[in-house]
Amino acid sequence: MASTVSRRGFLGAAGAAVAAGGAAQAQEAGAAEAKDRPIKIVAVACSPRRGKTTAQGLQICLEAAREAGPNIETELVELAGLAIPIFDPAAPVPADFEKVAAVLRDPKVRGIIIGTPVYFGSMSSLCKAFLDHCMALRKAGFALSGKVAGVLAVGGARNGGQELAIEGVQAALMCQEMVIVGDGRPTAHTGATLVNPGTDDISGDEFGVQTAKNLGRHVAEVALRLA
Protein backbone atom coordinates (compact mmCIF):
# COMPACT_ATOMS: atom_id res chain seq x y z
CA MET A 1 0.00 0.00 0.00
CA ALA A 2 1.45 3.37 -1.07
CA SER A 3 1.59 6.04 1.60
CA THR A 4 1.88 9.79 1.22
CA VAL A 5 4.06 11.65 3.69
CA SER A 6 3.72 15.41 3.82
CA ARG A 7 6.79 17.60 4.56
CA ARG A 8 5.25 18.72 7.85
CA GLY A 9 4.40 15.12 8.74
CA PHE A 10 7.91 13.96 7.87
CA LEU A 11 9.56 16.70 9.93
CA GLY A 12 7.21 15.95 12.81
CA ALA A 13 8.06 12.25 12.68
CA ALA A 14 11.80 13.02 12.42
CA GLY A 15 11.54 15.37 15.40
CA ALA A 16 9.73 12.71 17.41
CA ALA A 17 12.43 10.17 16.51
CA VAL A 18 15.18 12.57 17.65
CA ALA A 19 13.23 13.25 20.86
CA ALA A 20 12.75 9.50 21.40
CA GLY A 21 16.49 8.94 20.84
CA GLY A 22 17.24 11.70 23.35
CA ALA A 23 14.84 10.17 25.85
CA ALA A 24 16.46 6.76 25.40
CA GLN A 25 19.91 8.30 25.93
CA ALA A 26 18.69 10.12 29.03
CA GLN A 27 17.16 6.87 30.30
CA GLU A 28 20.46 5.03 29.75
CA ALA A 29 22.39 7.80 31.52
CA GLY A 30 19.85 7.68 34.35
CA ALA A 31 20.24 3.91 34.65
CA ALA A 32 24.02 4.23 34.76
CA GLU A 33 23.74 6.97 37.37
CA ALA A 34 21.32 4.84 39.45
CA LYS A 35 23.83 1.97 39.38
CA ASP A 36 26.39 4.24 41.06
CA ARG A 37 23.98 5.66 43.64
CA PRO A 38 24.81 4.42 47.16
CA ILE A 39 22.18 2.05 48.51
CA LYS A 40 22.09 -0.36 51.41
CA ILE A 41 20.86 -3.95 51.63
CA VAL A 42 20.09 -5.29 55.11
CA ALA A 43 19.66 -8.95 56.05
CA VAL A 44 17.77 -9.99 59.18
CA ALA A 45 18.64 -13.40 60.67
CA CYS A 46 15.63 -14.78 62.53
CA SER A 47 17.35 -17.74 64.18
CA PRO A 48 17.70 -17.80 67.96
CA ARG A 49 21.21 -19.20 67.31
CA ARG A 50 23.70 -16.43 66.57
CA GLY A 51 26.13 -17.03 63.71
CA LYS A 52 24.65 -20.37 62.72
CA THR A 53 23.32 -21.52 59.36
CA THR A 54 20.70 -18.80 58.79
CA ALA A 55 23.30 -16.09 59.44
CA GLN A 56 25.84 -17.94 57.25
CA GLY A 57 23.35 -18.12 54.38
CA LEU A 58 22.55 -14.44 54.68
CA GLN A 59 26.26 -13.54 54.60
CA ILE A 60 26.43 -15.32 51.22
CA CYS A 61 23.44 -13.25 50.01
CA LEU A 62 25.06 -10.00 51.17
CA GLU A 63 28.39 -10.81 49.53
CA ALA A 64 26.58 -11.37 46.21
CA ALA A 65 24.57 -8.16 46.75
CA ARG A 66 27.78 -6.14 47.15
CA GLU A 67 29.02 -7.50 43.81
CA ALA A 68 25.95 -6.15 42.01
CA GLY A 69 27.20 -2.54 42.05
CA PRO A 70 30.07 -0.32 43.20
CA ASN A 71 28.21 1.50 45.99
CA ILE A 72 26.26 -1.19 47.76
CA GLU A 73 26.61 -1.21 51.51
CA THR A 74 25.32 -4.20 53.47
CA GLU A 75 24.52 -5.04 57.08
CA LEU A 76 23.56 -8.25 58.83
CA VAL A 77 21.22 -7.87 61.80
CA GLU A 78 20.91 -10.93 64.03
CA LEU A 79 17.81 -11.16 66.20
CA ALA A 80 19.44 -13.85 68.39
CA GLY A 81 19.81 -12.52 71.91
CA LEU A 82 17.50 -9.55 71.36
CA ALA A 83 14.37 -9.21 73.46
CA ILE A 84 11.67 -9.60 70.81
CA PRO A 85 8.77 -11.32 72.59
CA ILE A 86 5.55 -12.67 71.11
CA PHE A 87 3.62 -9.68 69.74
CA ASP A 88 1.04 -8.24 72.11
CA PRO A 89 -0.97 -5.37 70.58
CA ALA A 90 -1.54 -3.92 74.06
CA ALA A 91 2.15 -3.85 75.01
CA PRO A 92 4.62 -1.07 74.19
CA VAL A 93 6.99 -1.60 71.25
CA PRO A 94 10.05 -3.45 72.64
CA ALA A 95 13.24 -1.35 72.71
CA ASP A 96 15.23 -4.02 70.86
CA PHE A 97 12.66 -4.07 68.04
CA GLU A 98 12.87 -0.26 67.83
CA LYS A 99 16.62 -0.55 67.23
CA VAL A 100 16.14 -3.03 64.37
CA ALA A 101 13.27 -0.96 62.95
CA ALA A 102 15.50 2.13 62.89
CA VAL A 103 18.01 0.26 60.71
CA LEU A 104 15.30 -0.95 58.32
CA ARG A 105 13.44 2.32 57.88
CA ASP A 106 16.59 4.24 56.86
CA PRO A 107 15.78 5.62 53.36
CA LYS A 108 19.19 4.39 52.16
CA VAL A 109 18.01 0.81 52.78
CA ARG A 110 16.52 -0.23 49.44
CA GLY A 111 16.53 -4.01 49.98
CA ILE A 112 15.84 -6.31 52.91
CA ILE A 113 16.51 -10.06 53.05
CA ILE A 114 14.78 -12.00 55.79
CA GLY A 115 16.35 -15.33 56.79
CA THR A 116 14.61 -17.96 58.87
CA PRO A 117 15.33 -21.51 59.98
CA VAL A 118 12.56 -23.97 59.09
CA TYR A 119 10.70 -24.98 62.24
CA PHE A 120 8.14 -27.72 61.60
CA GLY A 121 7.50 -26.65 58.04
CA SER A 122 7.19 -22.97 58.84
CA MET A 123 9.22 -19.93 59.94
CA SER A 124 10.79 -19.77 63.41
CA SER A 125 8.69 -18.33 66.23
CA LEU A 126 11.28 -15.53 66.52
CA CYS A 127 10.72 -14.69 62.85
CA LYS A 128 6.94 -14.59 63.33
CA ALA A 129 7.29 -12.40 66.43
CA PHE A 130 9.58 -10.04 64.50
CA LEU A 131 7.20 -9.83 61.52
CA ASP A 132 4.22 -9.21 63.82
CA HIS A 133 6.11 -6.36 65.51
CA CYS A 134 6.58 -4.87 62.02
CA MET A 135 2.95 -3.78 62.45
CA ALA A 136 4.51 -0.67 64.04
CA LEU A 137 6.23 0.12 60.71
CA ARG A 138 2.99 -0.44 58.81
CA LYS A 139 1.21 1.94 61.15
CA ALA A 140 4.01 4.49 60.74
CA GLY A 141 2.99 5.32 57.16
CA PHE A 142 4.10 2.00 55.64
CA ALA A 143 7.75 2.73 56.33
CA LEU A 144 8.91 -0.35 54.37
CA SER A 145 6.77 0.40 51.31
CA GLY A 146 8.64 0.07 48.00
CA LYS A 147 11.70 -1.58 49.50
CA VAL A 148 12.71 -4.80 47.77
CA ALA A 149 12.36 -7.98 49.83
CA GLY A 150 13.81 -11.46 49.46
CA VAL A 151 13.57 -14.46 51.77
CA LEU A 152 15.97 -17.27 52.71
CA ALA A 153 15.16 -20.43 54.64
CA VAL A 154 17.47 -23.13 56.03
CA GLY A 155 16.15 -26.56 56.99
CA GLY A 156 17.72 -29.75 58.26
CA ALA A 157 16.41 -31.63 55.22
CA ARG A 158 16.05 -31.01 51.50
CA ASN A 159 12.29 -30.43 51.02
CA GLY A 160 12.01 -29.87 54.78
CA GLY A 161 9.60 -26.99 54.26
CA GLN A 162 11.93 -24.22 53.06
CA GLU A 163 9.45 -23.03 50.40
CA LEU A 164 6.54 -23.08 52.85
CA ALA A 165 8.55 -21.03 55.35
CA ILE A 166 9.56 -18.58 52.59
CA GLU A 167 5.97 -18.13 51.43
CA GLY A 168 4.80 -17.43 54.97
CA VAL A 169 7.38 -14.68 55.35
CA GLN A 170 6.57 -13.27 51.91
CA ALA A 171 2.87 -13.05 52.84
CA ALA A 172 3.73 -10.87 55.83
CA LEU A 173 6.07 -8.67 53.78
CA MET A 174 3.39 -8.11 51.15
CA CYS A 175 1.26 -6.56 53.92
CA GLN A 176 4.04 -3.96 54.23
CA GLU A 177 3.78 -3.01 50.52
CA MET A 178 7.27 -4.38 49.92
CA VAL A 179 8.37 -5.48 46.46
CA ILE A 180 8.86 -9.24 46.79
CA VAL A 181 11.43 -11.00 44.62
CA GLY A 182 12.77 -14.55 44.48
CA ASP A 183 16.27 -15.85 43.81
CA GLY A 184 17.38 -14.64 40.42
CA ARG A 185 18.56 -16.60 37.43
CA PRO A 186 19.51 -19.32 36.74
CA THR A 187 17.76 -20.92 39.73
CA ALA A 188 14.93 -18.32 39.83
CA HIS A 189 12.36 -19.68 42.27
CA THR A 190 10.81 -18.41 45.50
CA GLY A 191 14.01 -17.57 47.35
CA ALA A 192 17.14 -19.10 48.89
CA THR A 193 16.60 -22.67 50.06
CA LEU A 194 19.47 -24.17 52.04
CA VAL A 195 20.10 -27.43 53.87
CA ASN A 196 22.00 -27.82 57.13
CA PRO A 197 23.33 -31.39 57.02
CA GLY A 198 23.48 -31.43 60.82
CA THR A 199 26.97 -29.98 61.07
CA ASP A 200 25.85 -26.33 61.17
CA ASP A 201 27.92 -25.82 58.01
CA ILE A 202 26.01 -25.06 54.82
CA SER A 203 29.04 -24.51 52.59
CA GLY A 204 28.74 -28.00 51.03
CA ASP A 205 25.16 -27.39 49.88
CA GLU A 206 26.08 -26.38 46.36
CA PHE A 207 22.54 -25.77 45.13
CA GLY A 208 21.46 -23.93 48.29
CA VAL A 209 24.53 -21.68 48.24
CA GLN A 210 23.78 -20.88 44.59
CA THR A 211 20.21 -19.85 45.50
CA ALA A 212 21.58 -17.62 48.28
CA LYS A 213 23.98 -15.91 45.84
CA ASN A 214 21.20 -15.48 43.27
CA LEU A 215 18.84 -14.06 45.89
CA GLY A 216 21.36 -11.49 47.14
CA ARG A 217 22.29 -10.41 43.62
CA HIS A 218 18.67 -10.21 42.47
CA VAL A 219 17.52 -8.16 45.47
CA ALA A 220 20.38 -5.72 44.86
CA GLU A 221 19.77 -5.52 41.10
CA VAL A 222 16.05 -4.79 41.50
CA ALA A 223 16.78 -2.31 44.30
CA LEU A 224 19.21 -0.48 41.99
CA ARG A 225 16.66 -0.45 39.19
CA LEU A 226 14.02 1.04 41.49
CA ALA A 227 16.39 3.50 43.22
Ligand X SMILES: Cc1cc2nc3c(=O)[nH]c(=O)nc-3n(C[C@H](O)[C@H](O)[C@H](O)COP(=O)(O)O)c2cc1C
Binding site for ligand X (CB under 6 A): 47, 49, 52-54, 117-121, 154-157, 160-161, 196, 200
Residue nearest to ligand X (CB): 160
CA distance 182 to 179: 10
Residue-by-residue DSSP string for 132-161:
HHTHHHHHTT-TTTT-EEEEEEEESSTTSS
Write down the least CB distance from residue 184 to ligand X, Å. Answer: 23
CA distance 181 to 150: 5
What is the pairing mode between strands 39-45 and 109-117? parallel
Write down the least CB distance from residue 120 to ligand X, Å. Answer: 5
Indicate the residue among 11 and 157 with the shorter CB distance to ligand X.
Answer: 157
Cβ(154)–Cβ(53) under 8 Å? yes
Indicate the residue among 36 and 200 with the shorter CB distance to ligand X.
Answer: 200
Q: Which of 82, 166, 88 is nearest to 126 (CA)?
A: 82
Angle at 185 between CA 183 and CA 191, to 5 degrees: 10
Indicate the residue among 170 and 196 with the shorter CB distance to ligand X.
Answer: 196
Write down the least CB distance from residue 187 to ligand X, Å. Answer: 19
Indicate the residue among 36 and 201 with the shorter CB distance to ligand X.
Answer: 201
Indicate the residue among 150 and 160 with the shorter CB distance to ligand X.
Answer: 160
Task: Give the number of residues written for the chain.
Answer: 227
Write down the least CB distance from residue 104 to ligand X, Å. Answer: 20
